[in-house]
């Protein structure tokens, strides 16, 4: 890649990082919300 | 039409009764411009080069501060909700309120601008261009800013959020406004950017009140 | 057609449809991007002017394209949300804003990484980079407004309106920045636009752009599902949906 390899790799790396972060946060948030909703539901079902 | 005039007159009277506030905006505007040379070397060439940008920065900042009062008193005393229910079309109400606001606060920038031009060493023939650019640009700022004000109306501490919403929308006014002033100072053709400012004013007079009215309905529903 | 539109507008139906579509979109996006990146990094010959540095194009141009596409899509959805009060369109706007901001951010970062070897600095006040930066602020405004309003419904409607106002502004900003740039910029050689590209350079770019598009729709679906769950937490279909998983 000549003298430009570092630039090329870093731009691909940044892109992969940011997009990967988008994927991860999207699914983690969703799973978290589902867990919360489920927990709330079971609490409603059998109040101690 | 008559109801529009009534709103303008009422708001103007209210605004003029609070003369202190208008003066405070004027002082703020002047102070921003006076403080700038103190932060650097007051070389005439440099001041002339940054002058237009500086004038517009001061206008943007003080417009942002004064816009926050645009609908707030009416929101607090409940008359804004009356406006939503009244037979007068809401966009017309918005247009008249922004007009009154501009007469009470935007006009002073234009009146004060010759003084500022002298402070910055602007050559005499460029001064009318500065005033025309401000006269065409500041109403657009008020009209576009009103959308942001209406969107953030119900929120506590809306000030910073308001600037985040409306400063990106102010970019074209800043560019063409400062562009006209720069062209006039350097003796270039300044009619093009002035016409662009006028075109943006026409566009925002027709569209911005509609958007503001919709935003008010969203914020108050 | 009308019936389909009506069905799509109902959150439970959309929720299930989205869950079925997501894996397919994900596979399509990953395959297209992988194929495009392979073509761009390995198969395409180095550029005669820029050498190997032009290979940044395969992430830069798709991000820049998506940054505009997402904003336009947000504005269209915003118009639908305001006129027809369609729930899904409202959800689309607030879900898309962070993704659009991410693409805009990527376009800026990769553009500046590209600028370093080409122009010798990380940042030039080039017309396109500058209007991309303003676009980022427009996105951040929508995100901040969405975060500031507590009620989900009115937050989404406010964001929809802001996106509509912004989309009228985007071409004006672009034009004004370009005008400003021709006034102030010295002899900058914009090497970004060249008359024609060799097909073996162009095809991977199209695959990458398409892949990024699929990526956006893939991620948009779970984000919309999140908003729907949050909004309708108390409704019966949510309970059913959560129980059935």
Ordered by start, the domain boundaries in chain A are: 19-48
CB B101, CB B142: distance < 8 Å = yes
Q: Which of C150, C172, C184 to mutate to test the interface with B (most CBs of B within 10 A)?
A: C172
- The pLDDT of residue C187 is 42
Do A and B touch, counting CB pairs below 8 Å (3 needed)? no
* Contact state of C161 with B214 under an 8 Å Cβ cutoff: yes
Tokens of B64: 């942002």
Give residue C237's Cα distance to chain centre. 30
Give the whole-angstrom CA distance, residue A5 versus residue C166. 38
Q: What is the mean pLDDT of chain C?
A: 84
Nearest residue of chain C to residue A39 (CA atoms):
C242
Please check whether residue B207 touches C, CB under 8 A.
yes
Give the whole-angstrom CA distance, residue C112 versus residue C65. 16
- pLDDT at position B97 over 60: yes
Name the residue facing B215 among C161, C173, C179 (closest C-beta). C161
CB C158, CB B161: distance < 8 Å = no
What are B32-52's pLDDT values in tens digits?
888 888 888 778 888 888 888
Closest-CA distance, B43 to chain C, in angstroms, reads 21
Closest-CA distance, B96 to chain C, in angstroms, reads 20
- The pLDDT of residue C51 is 67
CB A37, CB C238: distance < 8 Å = yes
Residue that the structure tokens 């990526």 belong to: C215
* Contact state of B218 with C144 under an 8 Å Cβ cutoff: no
Tokens of C13: 């139906």
Name the residue facing A4 among C52, C222, C233 (closest C-beta). C52
Lowest mean pLDDT among A31-45, B55-69, C90-104: A31-45
What total of structural domains would you count in chain B?
Answer: 1
Please check whether residue A35 touches C, CB under 8 A.
no
- The pLDDT of residue C3 is 67
Nearest to B25 by CA among B53, B60, B50: B60
Q: Which of C59, C121, C214 to mutate to test the interface with A (most CBs of A within 10 A)?
A: C59
Cα separations in angstroms, B106 against B65, B72, B109, C234? 12, 18, 6, 49
Q: Give the length of chain C.
A: 245
- The pLDDT of residue C165 is 92
Nearest to C106 by CA among C53, C146, C163, C66: C66
Nearest to C26 by CA among C194, C193, C163, C220: C220
Q: How many CA atoms lie within 13 A of B10 on its CB side?
A: 12
CB A10, CB C113: distance < 8 Å = yes
Instruction: Note down the domain range covering B198.
Output: 2-220
Closest-CA distance, B159 to chain C, in angstroms, reads 12
- The pLDDT of residue C189 is 44
pLDDT < 50: residue spans in chain C: 186-191, 195
Give the whole-angstrom CA distance, residue B39 versus residue B49. 15
- The pLDDT of residue C164 is 93
Share of residues in chain B with pLDDT > 70 (%): 100
Contacts of B214 in chain C (CB under 8 A): 82, 161
User: Which DSSP category does B70 fall into?
Assistant: S
Please check whether residue A26 touches C, CB under 8 A.
yes
- The pLDDT of residue C245 is 58
- The pLDDT of residue C184 is 61
| DSSP H or E run through B201 | helix B191-220
* Contact state of C145 with B176 under an 8 Å Cβ cutoff: no
- The pLDDT of residue A1 is 46
Mean pLDDT of B126-151: 92
Name the residue facing C154 among B147, B171, B218 (closest C-beta). B218
Please check whether residue B205 touches C, CB under 8 A.
no
C126: left (phi over 0), alpha (psi -120 to 50) or beta: beta
Give the whole-angstrom CA distance, residue B126 versus residue B178. 12
Give the whole-angstrom CA distance, residue B50 versus residue B181. 11
C49: left (phi over 0), alpha (psi -120 to 50) or beta: alpha
Name the residue facing C242 among A7, A21, A34 (closest C-beta). A34
Please check whether residue A27 touches C, CB under 8 A.
yes
Residues in CB range of B62: below 8 A, 6 or more apart: B25, B28, B29, B32, B105, B109
What are B163-201's pLDDT values in tens digits?
899 999 999 999 999 989 988 888 888 888 899 999 999
How many CB atoms neighbour CB C47 within 10 A?
Answer: 17
Give residue C140's Cα distance to chain centre. 13
Nearest to C229 by CA among B32, B3, B80, A33: A33
Residues in CB range of C123: below 8 A, 6 or more apart: C112, C115, C129
Nearest to C183 by CA among B148, B43, B134, B178: B178
Contacts of B218 in chain C (CB under 8 A): 154, 157-158, 161
* Contact state of A26 with C106 under an 8 Å Cβ cutoff: no
- The pLDDT of residue C48 is 63
**B136 phi and psi, to 5 degrees?**
-85, -30
Instruction: Check residues B62 and C54 and name the one with the higher pLDDT.
Output: B62
- The pLDDT of residue C94 is 92
Q: Which three-class secondary structure state does DSSP give residue C47?
A: strand
Strand partners, C29: none
CB C145, CB B152: distance < 8 Å = yes
């Amino acid at each position: 890649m000549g003298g430009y390899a570092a630039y090329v790799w870093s731009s691909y790396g940044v892109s992969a990082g940011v997009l990967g972060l988008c994927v991860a946060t999207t699914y983690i948030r969703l799973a978290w919300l589902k867990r919360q909703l489920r927990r709330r539901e079971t609490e409603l079902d059998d109040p101690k | 039409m008559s109801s529009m005039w009534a709103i303008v007159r009422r708001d103007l009277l209210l605004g003029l009764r609070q003369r202190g506030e208008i003066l405070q905006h004027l002082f703020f505007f002047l102070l921003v411009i006076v403080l700038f040379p103190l932060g650097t070397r007051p070389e005439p060439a440099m001041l002339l080069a940054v002058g237009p940008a500086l004038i517009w920065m001061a206008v943007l900042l003080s417009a942002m501060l004064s816009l926050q009062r645009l609908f707030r008193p009416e929101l607090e005393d409940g008359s804004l909700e009356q406006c939503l229910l009244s037979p007068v079309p809401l966009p017309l109400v918005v247009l008249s309120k922004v007009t009154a606001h501009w007469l009470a606060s935007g006009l002073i920038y234009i009146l004060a601008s010759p003084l500022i031009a002298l402070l910055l060493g602007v050559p005499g023939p460029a001064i009318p261009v500065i005033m025309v650019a401000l006269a065409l640009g500041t109403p657009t700022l008020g009209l576009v800013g009103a959308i942001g004000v209406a969107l953030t109306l119900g929120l506590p501490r809306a000030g910073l959020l308001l600037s985040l919403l409306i400063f990106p929308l102010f970019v074209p006014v800043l560019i063409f406004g400062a562009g006209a002033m720069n062209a006039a100072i350097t003796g270039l053709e300044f009619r093009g950017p002035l016409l662009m400012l006028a075109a943006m004013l026409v566009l925002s007079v027709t569209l911005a009140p509609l958007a503001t009215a919709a935003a008010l309905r969203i914020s108050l529903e | 057609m009308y019936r389909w539109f009506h069905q799509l507008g109902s959150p439970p139906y959309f929720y299930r449809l989205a869950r079925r579509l997501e894996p397919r979109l994900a596979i399509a996006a990953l395959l297209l991007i992988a194929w495009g990146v392979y073509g761009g990094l390995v198969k395409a010959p180095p550029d005669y002017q820029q050498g190997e540095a032009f290979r940044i194009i395969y992430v830069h141009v798709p991000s820049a394209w998506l940054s505009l596409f997402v904003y336009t899509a947000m504005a269209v959805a915003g118009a639908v949300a305001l006129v027809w009060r369609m729930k899904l369109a409202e959800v689309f706007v607030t879900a898309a804003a962070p993704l659009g901001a991410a693409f805009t951010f990527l376009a800026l970062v990769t553009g500046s990484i590209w600028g370093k070897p080409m122009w010798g600095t990380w940042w030039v006040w080039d017309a396109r980079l500058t209007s991309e930066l303003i676009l980022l602020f427009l996105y951040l405004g929508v995100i901040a407004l969405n975060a500031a309003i507590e009620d989900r419904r009115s937050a989404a409607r406010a964001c929809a309106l802001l996106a509509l106002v912004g989309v009228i502004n985007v071409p004006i900003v672009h034009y004004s920045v370009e005008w400003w740039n021709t006034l102030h910029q010295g002899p900058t050689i914009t090497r970004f636009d060249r008359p024609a590209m060799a097909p073996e350079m162009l095809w991977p770019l199209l695959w990458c752009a398409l892949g990024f598009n699929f990526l956006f729709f893939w991620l948009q679906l779970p984000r919309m599902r999140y908003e729907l769950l949050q909004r309708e937490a108390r409704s019966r279909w949510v309970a059913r949906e959560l129980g059935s998983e």
